[in-house]
Amino acid sequence: MANRIHPTAIIGDGVELGEDNVIGPHAVLLGPTRIGNGNWIGPGAVIGTPPENRGTHHVVGWEGEQSEHGVVIGDRNRFREHISIHSGTHRATRVGDDCFFLVYSHIGHDVRVDDNVTLAPSARVAGHNHVWSYANIGMSAAVHQQIDIGPGAMIGMSAAVRKVVKPFTTVVGNPAKAVGVNTIGLSRLGCDEETVAAVSDYVLGGAAELPAGVPDALAGLLKEWSAR
C-alpha cells in the first residue's frame, strides 16, 4: 500500500520508507533513517535530527546533509504529536515493532527500543539506553543514560530512573525504587495466577531458576536478560 505523506511534511535525503506509513502535517524526517511498514507518524514529530552531544556536528538535514548513523524503525509503531528521536553517535538509534510513543515523548541518541514498548506523554529516555520489550515508561518519567530497562518493567509517573530496572518490576519516585511486580504485564503475556506468583519470586531474586510453565515468549525474554 502507498504511503500517505502530508504536503507540509519534510522528508530529507537518505530517508527510506516502507509501505502503508502515515506521515502527518509538519513532521520532519531526516536521513539516514529507515522506516518499515504501517507506521503512524503524527503532526510535528521529529525523527533523525542530530544527537544532543556537544562533540557532534549539527548537520542541516532539511538541506540534504545527513548524520552519520541515523535511525532505524520497524513496523506498526504509532508516534504521536511532537515526539522526537535523535540520530546515533556511533550506532543507529533503533525502535522495534508495535511501539506506542505518546505526545512529546523523546528517545535520545544510540538508544535501542525493543518491541511493544510504551512511552507515556513527555517520557524521556536519554542516550545509550536499552529499553526491552513490553516496558512501559510513565508520564514525564526520565531515564538516565546508559541504563537497561528490563522487559515488562513499569516506570511510574515522573520517576527519575538512575539505575537498571529489573524485568517486570514496578518502580516509582525520585530516585526511582522498586515497589512491586508488574503482574498485569505478566498476565497479558499468558501467565496464570500461579505462574505470575512464581515469576514474581524469580524477578525479585527469591528464586534462583526460572519456574516451569512460563510461556515461551516470556521465558525467552527472561533468559536473554539473564545472559546479557
Q: Which residues are annotated as catalytic?
A: 109-110, 127
Q: Which residues of the chain have pLDDT under 50?
A: none
Sort strands 71-73 and 93-95 into parallel, antiparallel or unpaired.
parallel
Alpha-carbon distance 214 to 211, whole Å?
A: 7
> Grid coordinates representing 56?
557532534
Residue with cell 502535517: 25
Q: What is the pLDDT of residue 205?
A: 79
Give residue-wise pLDDT tens across range 171-193: 999 999 999 999 999 999 999 99
Q: What is the pLDDT of residue 208?
A: 74
The 10 Å Cβ neighbour count of residue 52 is 15
Q: What is the pLDDT of residue 96?
A: 98
pTM (two decimals): 0.95
The contacts found for 13-20 with CB under 8 angstroms, 24 or more apart, are 13/61, 13/64, 13/65, 13/66, 14/66, 14/70, 15/48, 18/75
Burial label for 106, CB within 10 Å (0-12, 13-18, 19+), is buried
Average per-residue pLDDT in the chain?
Answer: 95
